[in-house]
Amino acid sequence: MKDRKGFDQVTNKEQILARLRNAIMEKPEAMFEDIDLQSDTWNPIKEEDGNAITFVQRFKDMGGIFIYLENESELGECLRQLAPQNGWEPLWCTSHEMQALLEKYGIQYCTEPDVPGRKRLASIMPCDYLIAQTGSIVLTDGRAGSRRSYTDCDVLLVIARTDQIVGGLKEALQLLKEDLGDKVSSQAVILTGLTQTHAVEQESVKGVFGARQIAVFLVDE
């Protein structure tokens, strides 16, 4: 009886293995032959809104803070007021491009995140592109200076120009590819609102990982 049971087990294993071999060898049916991989899946942007208004609406819907400025000098004055009011001084900045702007307007900054007595760690950097369809921000290490500057901060301040707003992701990636050319960026990220998770009680909790606040300063230049 014992030998018969062992024989049955061997037979069952052989049958299972045979079925697996047949399943691997068989060509599966193409279930989605007519799927369209080229057309945009997003609703088109309303002509009366355009890219700029659409970005602002969707960025704010995702919990972002938006500030519009007419020129660079307004930006400098705005940062001079907001930094001390919100306990951001000195701003954390690893971008050489942004460091030059902060020095121009006499705004304190540091290149390392550890500063005793600072209430909140606010990082400032330039963006590469803003995506209207999703309200997203495209950042690269090449311009940010360090990926830690947008992953390890409490507040993320992103400086952008109106000509950096594009309609969709495909356009942003194409322009980014053209910008980089032969240059190498170790990482490019697309930020769409604050990080979001759910607690045990299924309550939505935002800003658990990464920045708890994201603000875009859009300069009309």
Q: What is the pLDDT of residue 17?
A: 82
- Alpha-carbon distance of 144 to 128, in angstroms, equals 9
- Alpha-carbon distance of 172 to 49, in angstroms, equals 19
Q: Residue 19: what residue type?
A: R
Q: Where are the domains of the chain?
A: 52-219
Q: What is the pLDDT of residue 205?
A: 53
52-98 pLDDT per residue, tens: 999 999 999 989 999 999 999 999 999 999 999 998 999 999 999 99
pTM: 0.76
Under-50 pLDDT residues of the chain = 1-2, 7, 207
Q: What is the pLDDT of residue 204?
A: 54
CB 209 within 8 A of CB 195: yes
- Tell me the CATH number for domain 52-219: 3.40.50.10420
